[in-house]
Amino acid sequence: MKEFVEGSHAIAQIIQACKPGVISAYPITPQTHIVEDLAQIVANGELKAQFVNVESEHSAASVVLGASATGVRVYTATSSQGLFYMQEVVFNIAGMRLPVVMTCANRAISAPINIWNDQQDSISLRDAGWVQIYAEDNQEAVDFHLIAYRLAEDKRVMLPVMVCMDGFILTHGMETLDLPEQDKVNKFLPNYNPLYKLDPAEPISMGLLADPDYYMEARYAIQETMKSSLGYLSEISSEFNAVFGRDYKDLLVEEYQTKDAEKVIVAMGSVCGTIKEVVDEQRAKGKKVGLLRIITYRPFPYARVYEALKDVSRIAVLDKAVSLGAYAPIAVEMKAAFYGKKKGPKVISSFVGGLGGRDITLESIHEVFRRLTAKEVNSDFIDLKPELLKEEYGK
């Protein structure tokens, strides 16, 4: 059913269709509309769920942890500082192998405090053991939540999944979307049937102390499951296509005109829409450019990336996050994908843009292609304002 809706509202609708039993979230811009809409849906009696208004994100994540451990499908959403506040619970949920699904409305990290979009928040939690999928537009944001529950609750996986959507750009952007009907959702997403749960009928202890004799295997198990999930995502994508008629291929990357490209930008999220326009513009002028969009960031699809770009001579990685003191996060993965391999780009240049919501315009992307020369650059910040850089403290 097609509707012209705000992204957040669409997310609330799809979560409603997924029928979680417990929802708990703490408000933080720009996630607020999602949880407000869900609160209204529950208040209207349109969703039979327990909506727990907590006093912090740490507790929001803990509430969904407890509810998921009790064998119920759950949902939470957060951004930026909220994600950081719940960080230890996020790692805990993955370690306890609970299929929690969370929306991260990507937003910049303090300090300085900034409520606009970049991807620093979710990228900073890349080690947590959560599957991370990044949406380019709101249709994907909606669809990826369905896929997230399906993947998380798969008995071969039992890992939490974070669906990342750029704050304000997607959460507050309005698009015409195909909102899946309940019967199709029911077809694609069966009821949650927990592998283990807290139940007096069959008591178990969860969250035990694991000394050096046991800890490593538990972590290794997650690593192996992550690797296998690369394949499961393809499976689930086919199932999704069969029910909804939208083909996300392997759900790992999107190759946009990369086949014979000489210069390719690698990026994640909504900025890819802008990049596609520039690619089209430049292609019309005969320039051989392309875009490789990373859809699944964790587990990182090294093999797929290699396969897509091994014949491209120059790659520009455009990160919307920065690893202060080192190379930018996605750039590092890209370099790892090609190091020591027979084929690969001669140049993998790393650019950082869009931090704190600074607009990445068509001109910005043209500039990136211009700066993608034979000389490799690392963490080259684009669209900086030189007059601000000239200011000195205390003068």
Place of tokens 């991807």: 119
Chain residues 93-112 in contact with other proteins, contact rule CB under 8 A: 95-98
Out of 53, 124, 186, 313, name the contact with other proteins by CB under 8 A. Answer: 53
| Tokens standing for residue 282 | 């430049």
Asked if 21 is part of the footprint of other proteins (rule: CB under 8 A), the reply reads: yes
Place of tokens 């001109």: 363
- Judged by beta carbon, residue 206 or residue 242, the one nearer other proteins is 206
Q: From the CB of residue 203, how many other CB atoms can be counted at a distance below 10 Å?
A: 7
- Judged by beta carbon, residue 127 or residue 202, the one nearer other proteins is 202
Q: How far is residue 136's CA from residue 164's CA, in Å, rounded to a whole number?
A: 9
| Tokens standing for residue 311 | 């014949």
- Judged by beta carbon, residue 91 or residue 306, the one nearer other proteins is 91
Chain residues 199-238 in contact with other proteins, contact rule CB under 8 A: 199-200, 202-211, 214, 217-218, 220-221, 225
Q: Which x/- pattern, by CB under 8 A, does the window 69-88 give for other proteins? A: xxxx-x-------------x
Asked if 92 is part of the footprint of other proteins (rule: CB under 8 A), the reply reads: yes
Pairing of strands 131-134, 296-298: antiparallel
For 208, residues 6+ apart whose C-beta sits below 8 A from its C-beta are none
In contact, 77 and 102? CB cutoff 8 Å: yes
Element (H, E) at 327: none
Asked if 42 is part of the footprint of other proteins (rule: CB under 8 A), the reply reads: no
Selected range binding other proteins among 50-58, 106-114, 171-179, 239-247, rule: CB under 8 A:
50-58
CB of 197 to other proteins, least distance (A): 8
For 69, residues 6+ apart whose C-beta sits below 8 A from its C-beta are 96, 98, 197, 198, 206
Selected range binding other proteins among 36-44, 198-206, 317-325, 333-341, rule: CB under 8 A:
198-206
Asked if 113 is part of the footprint of other proteins (rule: CB under 8 A), the reply reads: no
CB of 94 to other proteins, least distance (A): 10
Out of 50, 139, 238, 323, name the contact with other proteins by CB under 8 A. Answer: 50
Asked if 191 is part of the footprint of other proteins (rule: CB under 8 A), the reply reads: no
- Judged by beta carbon, residue 55 or residue 391, the one nearer other proteins is 55
Q: How far is residue 151's CA from residue 232's CA, in Å, rounded to a whole number?
A: 8
Q: How far is residue 79's CA from residue 32's CA, in Å, rounded to a whole number?
A: 10
Q: Which x/- pattern, by CB under 8 A, does the window 149-168 give for other proteins? A: ---------x----------
Asked if 389 is part of the footprint of other proteins (rule: CB under 8 A), the reply reads: no
Instruction: Report DSSP letters for 23-92, one per residue.
Output: EEE---TTTHHHHHHHHHHHHTTSS--EEEE-SSHHHHHHHHHHHHHTT--EEEEE-HHHHHHTHHHHHH
Size of the site for other proteins (CB under 8 A): 54
User: Which residues contact other proteins (rule: CB under 8 A)?
Assistant: 21-22, 24, 48-50, 52-56, 58-59, 62-72, 74, 88-89, 92, 95-98, 158, 195-196, 198-200, 202-211, 214, 217-218, 220-221, 225
